Structure 1
């Protein structure tokens, strides 16, 4: 890499297609690069489904979307010194990085896409995804810590506060997120209702968050637990972040909401089965990961989970008492 390629970087583009979790866990790398190039303009090319996450990162100057066609003209009229494609497997983002013709292009060398980068970077399923994104910065001479500083997300001031959104819910509430992108990662309505009843008996109010697909579970919890408030399908993603910021604890499966809670510095109990815990599960004494480590799990690779012939036994064998005990321990922890 020519010396002036490093010193003359004024315009940077991160490419981040995909889901919410990848977008959240990319943000620490963006913040590291902001420290390295404090005067550079940092832009992100995302998708409508995950673009709003970058509004939680004040270091990002502009957000473009794949699926917003007016953005393409702006992209191709821009001139970039550095493009970092953070997609782990698919080709489209690598092709876009090549077409935009930046002199320095970094990306994961997981397949033939590596030929489209000036500096292809290795990728491992054994690294926490934050550290995989840090690894993309190594060709720039950037050395990143193997520690994750949290919180690293910032809820914009314009977003309603948890107090405004939740009205009568008292402080110290526990958030439940029953959702998942696929059925194999859903723990189930009856288990979440039973768990909510046990947590409520400890004196903690509960808030259920999620999308329209989580309405039924949220309504069931609210019906059975007096101190529960169902917000599933009622808030934007940024408003969900605001609710999480005020929580004592989040209980969730392997999800983007889980990563948002980690980024906001909130304690979590997470349920892992199909997903790769080494890559996606938070670590540290403020986080408890429940994982039965069945011989067939994890079965997800590069975002694809095959249909399970045994009914997602890795997740469904987790008991309400098991999850409650983990939650109770963290709720009584002062760390």
Structure 2
């Protein structure tokens, strides 16, 4: 029996979509699973139980990626077809059950919307399956069990969502200094390959023997395995933030020109912190989406630090 799972090009949305996949993995273990998604997100599915195939779908002109997908799967009978990209593909393939997401509902979190789509309430939480080699590599990268580990994601896929690097640096200083909540912690810096230079001012504030940095030089499932050992992750609204939440660790996400009610770090260990300005105030006031300016300047270090303190106290009781 087979399941075809069509999900996002974007890493963050793909991570959130694992909530749906988790439900079928855990309730229908007889299903052999094919995942179709964008190349960036594809690696996070490599350890999915009962995985038969991953189909990478780089965008092509005139929807050529959909034609290629159809050709590669039309010869199979699908017991379940799930299309979270709202295409017509599910309706032109041979199958028994079709689940198609028709659009986003901004009245709720995306995970809650996905739960409603499959009729599960409360919805399953997103999950990152990892392989033994990923867990082994994480133990090589991090001093697991020796000291606390603080995860930092100072980048994002759009400059407007990036909190200034100097504020991240100040936050790390406050958290890891003598008397800080993460005094002497090892700091794991994470980001895409093109985010290293942006993160450099933060990285340089931590001595080499107390830091690790992964910027595209490790498999995404190794990143997921590392995140499982983080005592706190703090980062901008990004795919990495959703990976941290899916890893089941305390995750503080920083929000400005995006909506935390739809995309906040999901689960009981997730905590969104918003700029003093609302989403609507930020969007209405911006001059140019492509001007390369951050829209996160109304979020102070003190507000983030206070939110972290309250969140950690709530978690630990």
Q: TM-score, normalised by structure 1?
A: 0.78
* Matched residue, 1:334: 316
| Conserved? CA contact 1:11–1:81, under 8 Å | yes
Secondary structure of the residue aligned to 1:34 is helix
* Matched residue, 2:62: none
Which of 82, 85, 88 in structure 2 is aligned with 1:84? 82
C-alpha separation in 1, matches of 2:2 and 2:162: 41
Q: TM-score, normalised by structure 2?
A: 0.82
C-alpha separation in 2, matches of 1:295 and 1:323: 17
- Structure 1 residue 16 corresponds to structure 2 residue 14: no
* Matched residue, 1:157: 132
Which of 285, 307, 319 in structure 1 is aligned with 2:289? 307
* Matched residue, 2:189: 208
* Matched residue, 1:183: 159
Structure 2: tracts of 5 or more residues without a match: 60-64
* Matched residue, 1:47: 38
Q: What does residue range 176-325 of structure 1 map to in structure 2 within 5 Å?
A: 176-201=152-177, 202=180, 203=183, 204-226=185-207, 227-282=210-265, 286-291=269-274, 292=276, 294=278, 296=280, 307=289, 311-313=293-295, 315-325=296-306
C-alpha separation in 2, matches of 1:295 and 1:212: 28
Distance 1:59 1:26, change over 3 A: farther
- Structure 1 residue 100 corresponds to structure 2 residue 93: yes
| Conserved? CA contact 2:43–2:219, under 8 Å | no
Deviating more after overlay: 160-169 vs 247-256: 160-169
| Conserved? CA contact 1:275–1:299, under 8 Å | no
Deviations along 1:238-267, whole A, 9 cap, x unmatched? 121121111000001111111111111100
Distance 1:57 1:293, change over 3 A: farther
* Matched residue, 2:29: 38
C-alpha separation in 2, matches of 1:310 and 1:44: 35
| Conserved? CA contact 1:200–1:225, under 8 Å | no
Deviations along 1:249-307, whole A, 9 cap, x unmatched? 0001111111111111100111112222111113565332111352625859xxxxx71
Which of 115, 121, 133 in structure 2 is aligned with 1:145? 121
| Conserved? CA contact 1:169–1:229, under 8 Å | no
Distance 1:223 1:215, change over 3 A: same
- Structure 1 residue 63 corresponds to structure 2 residue 39: no
1:51 Cα offset (Å): 1.1
| Conserved? CA contact 1:273–1:298, under 8 Å | yes
Secondary structure of the residue aligned to 1:161 is helix
| Conserved? CA contact 1:211–1:233, under 8 Å | yes
What is the RMSD of the two structures over their aligned residues, measured on CA atoms? 3.0
C-alpha separation in 1, matches of 2:145 and 2:217: 15
* Matched residue, 1:171: 147
**For this pair of structures, how many residues does the alignment match?**
297
1:149 Cα offset (Å): 4.7
| Conserved? CA contact 1:248–1:331, under 8 Å | no
1:37 Cα offset (Å): 3.0
Structure 1: tracts of 5 or more residues without a match: 1-9, 89-93, 111-122, 139-143, 301-305
Deviations along 1:87-115, whole A, 9 cap, x unmatched? 15xxxxx13333324354321234xxxxx
Distance 1:26 1:284, change over 3 A: closer
